[in-house]
């Protein structure tokens, strides 16, 4: 019942959001067309529902060949691959809005485990890879909320971004997404949507741990503030 209601809500809300946002989306598209490399959208292969691949929609915020440059699939703070307009879109998460199309088509949900590129998906332990996408991937989710400021974590002095992601972030992110699978409900989804809006303005807030008191324990390296 939950999955049916969730899919209906996803479709209706995505359609409504696209109608309401048509003017600001058009303005962003024009701004992107006449800035950077002139690209408006970026479609990238991600792992999705039942481990099938799909093309995720985003506003183009980085140089065209970014996955093959620098830190690859990882973005660090002040990343030179990010365009000027892209910095604003990424900071506000507006770059994710085209994923409303993915929600509309049923490839994604508003809330769920974030879809990963193959290179990052392969880092997860086998039991996580086998289970994580039994739910449709989400525009936002518990991993997105906790790691809202992931770029800062990957940009610490003396830290190898790829090694830090593989050894620290990926295992904990996987545990968080598995927690979501065990606790998913319309109420959990609603709380995560509200928390997503909150951490856009307060990226290092610990409110998620006060909202969900049974989350996997917060590691010491995950520096957050109240």
Higher pLDDT, 148 or 131: 131
From its phi and psi, is residue 106 left (phi > 0), alpha (psi between -120 and 50) or beta?
A: left
Model pLDDT, residue 203? 80
Count Cα neighbours of 128 within 13 Å in the Cβ-side half-sphere: 22
When pLDDT is averaged across residues 196-202 and rounded to a whole number, the result is: 89
Question: 224 falls in which pLDDT band (50, 70, 90)?
Answer: low
CA 143, 146, 147, 148 dihedral sign is positive
Q: Is the pTM of this model over 0.75?
A: yes
pLDDT surpassing 90 at residue 63? no
b/e sequence 36-56, b meaning 16+ C-beta within 10 Å: beebeebeeebbbbeeeebeb
Strand blocks (E) in the chain = 41-47, 53-59, 109-111, 138-140
182 burial (CB, 10 Å; 0-12 / 13-18 / 19+) is exposed
**Could you tell me the two tokens for 25?**
């989306």
């Amino acid at each position: 019942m939950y999955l049916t209601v969730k899919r209906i809500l996803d479709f209706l809300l995505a359609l409504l959001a696209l109608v309401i946002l048509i003017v600001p989306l058009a303005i962003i598209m024009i701004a992107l067309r006449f800035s950077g490399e002139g690209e408006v959208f970026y479609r990238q292969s991600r792992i999705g529902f039942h481990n099938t691949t799909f093309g995720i929609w985003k506003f183009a915020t980085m140089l065209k060949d970014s996955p093959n440059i620098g830190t690859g699939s990882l973005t660090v703070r002040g990343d030179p691959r990010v365009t000027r307009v892209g910095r604003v879109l990424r900071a506000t998460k507006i770059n994710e809005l085209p994923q409303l199309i993915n929600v509309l088509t049923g490839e994604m949900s508003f809330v769920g485990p974030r879809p990963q590129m193959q290179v990052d998906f392969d880092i997860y332990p086998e039991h996580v890879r086998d289970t994580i996408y039994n739910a449709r991937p989400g525009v936002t989710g518990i991993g997105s909320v906790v790691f809202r400021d992931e770029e800062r974590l990957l940009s610490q002095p003396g830290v190898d971004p790829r090694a830090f992601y593989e050894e620290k972030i990926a295992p904990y992110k996987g545990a968080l997404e598995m927690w979501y699978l065990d606790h998913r409900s319309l109420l959990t989804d609603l709380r995560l949507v509200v928390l997503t809006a909150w951490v856009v303005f307060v990226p290092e807030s610990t409110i998620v741990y006060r909202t969900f008191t049974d989350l996997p324990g917060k590691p010491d390296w995950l520096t957050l503030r109240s």
